[in-house]
Structure formats: C-alpha cells, structure tokens
Structure 1
Amino acid sequence: MKFAGIVGAKHWTRIACVAFLSTVPLALTACQSDPDIDITKLSAETDPPDVLYNQGLANLNAGNVSEASRKFAAIDRQHPFSEYARKALVMSAFVNYRQGANQEAITAGQRYLKLYPESEDAAYAQYIVGLAYAKQIPSVTQDQRPATQTIEAMQAVVTKYPDSEYVEDAQTKIRFARDQLAGKEMQVGRYYLERKEYLAAIKRFRTVVEQYGTTNQVEEALARLVESYYAMGIASEAQTAAAVLGHNYPDSEWYADSYKLLQSKGLEPRENAGSWISRAGKALIGA
C-alpha cells in the first residue's frame, strides 16, 4: 500500500484486514489525478458495512481523505451496531486528524474509548486524541490549555497501554507540552521582572524549577532567580540559585552571566542547603 501516515504498518494491517485486498478491484490501485473524488462510485447510503469500510480504505489509500471520511461516517449512521462500525469509528478519528479537524478527531476518539475501552485499537484511539490536542498547542504567548490536555491524553497512553507502539512518541509529546507550559511561566515571570515586581516574578520562576525541572527552561529560570533575589538584596538565595545553576549547567551562558552579576558585588555562588532552591536542585535534569 502507498498509504502510510501516522498509522504503523502493523496497526494498518490489523485495521484493514485481508478483506481490503480481496474485495477492492485492481483498477483502484491506479493513480488518479482528479481532486478528492470517490473512486468507488458506489452509494454510501445503501451498501453493507463491509463494502463501505473497504470503500473507505480504498479512498484513503488513493488520497481521497474526505471521501474516506464520508464512507466511515455512513457506516456509523447506517450500521451502528455492526463490527465495522467499531472499526470505522477509530478510522474516523484518524481521518479527521489527517484533515486538520482536531476537535472532531478528539470527539471520535473519546467516543471510541467510551464504547470500546478494552478493544485492541483503544491505545490507538487514545493516541489520536493526544495528537489532536498536541496539534492545537499555540505559542507560549497564548493560553496553554491544549498543552495540559496533551499531557493528560498522552499520559493515558503511557499508563494504560504501556506495551503499545505509541508510548515512545506519547512521551515525546509530553516533554514538548511540558516545555510549553514552562515557557509560559517564564514569559509571565519575565514580564513581572521587567516591571520590578520581584515576588511575582520569583513565584513563576520557582514553578519552573520545582515543577518543570526536566525542561529546557530551567537554566534561564535559575538565572532569573539569581537576578530577582539579587535585586531584592537577598544575597543568600541569589548565591544558592547560582550555585545550583553552576552545578547542573557549568558551561551555560546563563551561569556565566549569573556569576558575573554576583561578582559585581563581591559575591560568589554558594549553596545554602536549607533553601528551597537547594532542595529543588537535587531533582533537576543536570543533577
């Protein structure tokens, strides 16, 4: 088959079955240059579910995504209690995702999980939900609710289906979403820091260090803590933040800048073991 996309070969074989290869005419394998037109030329309202399903697969394989979607939707409408309705629903989730209809993909995936939570394709449906949320993650200047939803959906893949083929990518999406959430905290923290609202800034940078210590935002967060505490005259905390930064990221430019800032007042990095920064530092990515 020329269809690949995000469905793995093993998964595609499981969904499509041998029926697809045996019932779709050989003529359907020829390439067509027309836009998204139904290559099966059969009624989606009256055909039996197995025929509609294979027509949907044939259209999908030919790149006619919207027609494939119409076939799978027809099964849901006309044959809701058939075995093919189950297969068509998970394919509808995928096709909607493929078309960029993320909310529709989420709805279809969640409906599948509600109806068939123990099926062999439940992991894939959960993964599609996570992918659809991930596609909606905006820049850090905007509301990061989709990032939180991505983490929840992909964590379900990891937790509920630990042996599935989707776990590795789910973990990658979780890391990306967490980095976005940390980036949002940094953006707000810098906003307060620029306005010399140091306590509000420290609260945001502390969130990054304590909750998002495995993200790539933590170096700057520590450096901004040095800057914030230094500006407030709390030398011990500034020195501790610099020491933790230097211990975990000794070659970081953020550490070089923090070290220079402390030296401008005759100070140097020195860790206070009783500080929250010291406790949090033991769990950082570079520890």
Structure 2
Amino acid sequence: MIKNLRTHAFRLALAASVLGLAACSSAPEQEDIERVPNKSAQALYEDAKQTLDSGLYARAIELLGAINARYPFGPYARQVQMDLVYAYYQTGNTDQALATIDRFIRLNPNHKDLDYMYYMRGLVSIKADENAFQEYFGVDRADRDANRTRVAFQDLTTLVKNYPNSPYAPEAKKRIVWLLNKMARYELKVAEYYFEREAYLAAANRGKYVVEHYSQSSYLTQAFDIMEKSYRKLGLQDLADNVKKAKSANPRNK
C-alpha cells in the first residue's frame, strides 16, 4: 500500500510542472457509492488501486469513497484517505483534496507519511491558484492575490524543515524557490500599481517588503529600484541614497 503511495508521489514530482487540463470531480455521492459492488474492504481496495493506477480517477474516487463509507475504521482507512487526495488532485478537485488533507493531519498528527500530506497540500494549493487556460496562453498572472501561493510556500517549507530526509524534500526545495520568486513578483506588481497612481509611500513599502522577506528571490534589484525612485518622488533624498548604497553593496549586483 505504502509502495503504491510512493509511486504516485514520485509520478507527481516528475509531472507536477506540466499543467494539464483536468475535469472537476466532486466528493463521492451516495449514488456513486451505491454503484460500487458489495465486496470486502480488501477486494474493494484492490479494485480501487488498479483503477487509480490506470488513471481512471473519477471511478477511483467512487471506489475509495465507498471503502471510506463502509469501512471507516478498517485497515485501509488511512491509505484510502491518502489515495483520495491523489485522485482529487488529478481531477482538479482542490477543495476536496485540501479538506481531506487537513482532516488527515488533524486526526493523525504523528503518522509516518505526514511528509507526503504536506507535500500534497503544497501541490494542491499551487494547483488551486493556477488558471489553466491563461497559463497555457502565456498570460501573466502575477497580479493575482498571492494567498494560495503563501500557503503552498508554508506547507513545502514545513516539509523541508521537519522532514529533511523525506524523498519529497528535493522537489519541494525546487518549488520553494519558484514560489519565493512568484511572491516577490506579486509584491512588485502591486508596488508598480501604487507608483503609477502616485502612491509613492505605499510603493516604497511594498519594495521594502520584498527586500526584507524575499531577499533570496530574483527580484531584489527591482525592489531596491522602486524603493529608491519612490523615495525620490517623496523628496526623501537621504533614504533614496541609502537604498542606492544598499543595492550597490548587495553581492548580487557585483
């Protein structure tokens, strides 16, 4: 069972960067459960596993939901929850995936596969923030609210910090870098918005936020730039000069 879980996770690590157009799927309804044959938990799980491995995620959700409803305290209960998360993710049902993950973490705070759940919560939050069509056609989404991005960043950071030897840690680190740049870019988009509307103090504060919180991002120089020009617009020449010096002293500008 756990081997199956790991297989699914590594598939995600390889393919998560490729955005697919997935149909939404709801939580298992009573009528879905009724379509599932009356079998033992083991037999149903074997069917669900085979269905999941075949990529038939909607049907897998029906089977896993039936196991969950009929055998809530059975030997497959936790594995079913983890597999449901994977199936929900693949069908784009991020709300159900997040609800299942949160419930699992709350009820199983010491489970040996919590690293997987934090990894999946990070991926699900990223997916929830994506707009498949606009990403596909290359539309810049940096001006969107970054709340989901922050949540994903926190989850993946928790994974790397608490489970440094997890097999998901290397991929999580790559995604953390990407998320860091995305959050910094969002703040700069807001800073530019304020600057264009002559709200120079607000623009400077957004740039300062990037310098203080996202100094490892690729947008540090741009943050210094908008701080400097905002302070000059405000007539705060000393502050602008200090920012210019800080930018020159930054190793990334050497």
Q: Which residue is 1:60 aligned to?
A: 52
The residue type equivalent to 1:182 in the other structure is A
Question: Could you say what secondary structure the match of 2:166 adopts?
Answer: coil
What is the 5 A alignment of 1:159-174?
Answer: 159-174=161-176
For 1:5 and 1:195, the matched residues in 2 are separated by 51
Cα 1:114/1:234, change in 2 over 3 Å: closer
Q: Which residue of 2 aligns with 1:250?
A: 253
2:82 to 87, 90, 95: 90
CA distance in 1, matches of 2:96, 2:199: 43
Question: Which letter maps to 1:67?
Answer: R
Letter in 2 for 1:193: F
Q: Cα deviations across residues 191-237 of structure 1 (Å, max 9, x unaligned)? A: 22122222121111111111111112211010112212223333332
1:134 aligned to which of 126, 135, 138: 126
| Change over 3 Å in CA distance of 1:156–1:250 after alignment to 2 | closer
Report the residue type matching 1:54 in the other structure: E
Partner of 1:184: 186
Is 1:119 aligned to 2:111, yes or no?
A: yes
2:153 and 2:179 in contact (8 A); partners too: yes
CA distance in 2 between partners of 1:145 and 1:5 (Å): 30
Corresponding pairs, count = 217
TM-score, normalised on structure 1?
A: 0.69
Cα drift, residue 6 of structure 1: 4.9
Superposed structure 1 runs of 4+ greater than 6 Å apart: none
SS state at 1:196 partner: coil
**What's 1:76 paired with?**
68
Identity level (%): 25
Q: Describe the superposition over 1:34-56 as per-residue Cα deviations: whole angstroms up to 9, x where unpaired.
A: xxxxxxxxx73411111111111
Answer yes or no: is the 8 Å Cα contact 1:147–1:177 preserved in 2: yes
Give deviations 1:239-285, integer Å, cap 9, x for gaps: 2222222333336xxxxxxxxxxxxxxxxxxxxxxxxxxxxxxxxxx
Q: Contact 1:59/1:65 (CA < 8 Å) preserved in 2?
A: yes
* Structure number having the greater helix percentage: 2
Equivalent residues in 2 for 1:257-276, closer than 5 Å:
none
Measured at CA, do residues 51 and 166 of structure 1 come closer, stay the same or move farther in structure 2, by a change above 3 Å?
Answer: same
Q: TM-score, normalised by structure 2?
A: 0.77
Paired AA for residue 117 in structure 2: A
Structure 2 Cα separation of the partners of residues 64 and 197 of structure 1: 52
Query: In angstroms, what is the RMSD of aligned CA positions?
Result: 2.4
Counterpart for residue 194 of structure 1: 196
| Pairing 1:206–2:212 present | no
Structure 1 position 162, deviation (Å): 2.5
Structure 2 counterpart of 1:215, one-letter code: S
Aligned counterpart, 2:42: 50
Q: 2:205–2:227: 8 Å Cα contact kept in structure 1?
A: no
Query: In the alignment, is the contact (CA less than 8 A) between 2:41 and 2:76 conserved in 1?
Result: yes
Greater Cα radius of gyration, structure 1 or 2? 1
Q: What are the superposed Cα offsets for residues 65-124 of structure 1, whole Å, 9 maximum, x if unpaired? A: 211221111110111111112111100011101111111111111222222222222221
Compared CA separation, residues 5 and 101, structure 1 to 2 (3 A): farther
Greater relative contact order, per chain length (Cα 8 Å cut-off, separation 6+) = 2
Secondary structure, counterpart of 1:83 in structure 2: coil
